Structure 1
């Protein structure tokens, strides 16, 4: 298990705080796997963090990031408070296990960029197969998650029914949400990032429920292409157009990470069984989303025998992937969350 520093040191220097290259590499690889998991609906990056043994460290590091420490770090890098001091900035990084977060985030972002590019291509070439795989990933994840919890008491049953209803109903308003502006993007970012740190609940699953998955995967791919185009002289207009959406999503994610995610953690501490029943039922209710999306105006899929067979076959592939991962690698213990 990767361990966090036992304590922060006020007299730490920048050079002393930088971890060895092999530690960076290990954390980066974990981030790659987490990003890959969170880029597709199904297995959560939080689950990968549990498997890799860094989940508790991740939660502790995120919790350690407070507004005071953030602004302390900013002041250390500006001439406003006694001049620029890399050593003071390093001390703040040590307090929040910052190098670990930076390496992990670098891996996650790298994987997300690559996977969303692949998803964008698949979305153009074979949307039925793509969303069939998503259906299988979501369905198998729901089976595994419900196997890990018990829904027996009245509050747990009510919470599960509420979670299922919320996901099922919201999934039916895809066209309304998909046409929403930056406010919808901001909210989707806040909710998706909050879900990413929970084992079993994928951030991209939240985007599928909110009908923002195709929008964000396409926008991110186009933003990366626009950046490459700007280097070769194609202008900055596409960068600004797509970058505005990406930055809005990231800002929403940052807000969600330090607000909604903390609310979820408190809810888990207050009543773990009821909260888990609600969250896991969201996954089951989200099974409607891929089908509704394919039936919308963007795809307008006709459900004939050939289409249903292709969708079912792809769903089977997605389900097998999750069940194989569960069989060989995942011993999901939600009580440890």
Structure 2
């Protein structure tokens, strides 16, 4: 976790303060566009929205806003909604509400758009798509290699535990959580915690949990239902298809209030061991795209392997390019 990102980024330091002031002057449109960039990154496994936040200079502001959320603040907000408008305005300012709203709308716009395209790609060209994901995931582990040292038994154990957990959980599309509303809720809570982790992708965590394909499909179906209603279709379809989406979003809200704080506390208390565990997750998750391709094609062949390798190279180059643009992911 970084409370002081690279020089000239975020709110830390003189340069960071200037960047934050500039961002505020740009207004909601600039924040919205940053959200679009973050959402586009978060929609694909292996690319982190937190990294995009670093690149665009809003990481510290995002962390401050996210960690300001708490049950106590929620109670104050409820009091404000019940009549204390001054209290409500104070809570909105403390949360940096205008910033989060514009950023959230941008993220949602991108996720709805990109996941729809990825759903089509998963159906039409699964080998190329999963190969691309493999490259994204693998390169993410590589660009983070300098962020931790496995020089103690505890850190080595943490790295192995993360890798084994992800490897086992990535064994099949139905592994890990299943498809219940509770599973979707938990997936949302876990995935949203990656928002505060540069280099760790929320979509990657969904892949590990066996929820990625399911959620991309659920979002696509839900958007189709909304479009159908706009042209006179039945509203019942929106309610039916919206259940997993609402469960996921509800989990995300709870995740912001709980999981995100727990991850940040773990990084503050045991940074090296926590990073070792998280990077172990990335390495173990490399199994998931390979397994999914096997499920799609039945058996690997030279042709399938070649397609997979080419797509993986493209994905890896994308992550390396983003990392170079960011100046190297810094989690100190």
TM-score with structure 2 setting the length: 0.89
Aligned-residue offset at 1:96: 1.5
* 8 Å Cα contact 2:163/2:280 also seen in 1: yes
The equivalent of 1:12 in structure 2 is none
Counterpart in 1 of 2:52?
Answer: 48
Matching of residue 321 in structure 1 with residue 318 in structure 2 = yes
Question: Are residues 1:34 and 2:33 paired?
Answer: no
Distance 1:279 1:179 in 2: 22
Distance in 2, Cα, partners of 1:41 & 1:95: 32
- Show the counterpart of 1:15: none
Q: Distance in 2 between matches of 1:301 and 1:178?
A: 24
Equivalent residues in 2 for 1:61-140, closer than 5 Å? 61-77=65-81, 80-81=82-83, 85=85, 88-140=87-139
Indicate conservation of the 8 Å contact 1:178/1:215, yes or no.
no
SS for the counterpart of 1:201 is coil
Cα distance, 1:52 vs. partner?
A: 1.8
Matches within 5 A, 1:168-247: 168-177=167-176, 179-247=178-246
Whether contact under 8 Å (2:35, 2:104) holds in the other structure is yes
Inter-partner Cα distance in structure 1 for 2:226 and 2:247: 17
In the other structure, the counterpart of 1:269 is 268
Structure 1 residue runs of 5 or longer lacking an equivalent are 5-18
Structure 2's unaligned 5+ residue stretches are 1-8, 13-22
Distance (whole Å) between structure 1 residues aligned to residue 76 and residue 222 of structure 2:
32
**Native 8 Å contact 1:65 1:96 kept in 2:** yes
| Closer/same/farther in 2, CA of residues 223 and 306 from structure 1, 3 Å limit | same
Identify the range of structure 1 (185-194 vs 46-55) with the bigger mean alpha-carbon deviation.
46-55
Distance in 2 (alpha carbons) for counterparts of 1:20 and 1:185: 35
The answer as to whether partners of 2:11 and 2:60 remain within 8 angstroms in 1 is no
- The CA distance in 2 between the partners of 1:34 and 1:206, in whole Å, is 16
CA distance in 2, matches of 1:271, 1:21: 37
Deviation at 1:28, TM superposition (A): 1.1
Contact 1:24 1:100 in 2 (8 A): yes
The CA deviation string for residues 141-162 of structure 1, in whole angstroms up to 9 with x for no partner, is: 1111123322111111111011
What's the counterpart of residue 310 of structure 1? Answer: 307
Aligned to 1:333, the other structure's residue is in SS state coil
Worse-superposed segment, 321-330 or 99-108: 321-330
RMSD: 1.9
Match of 1:147 in 2: 146
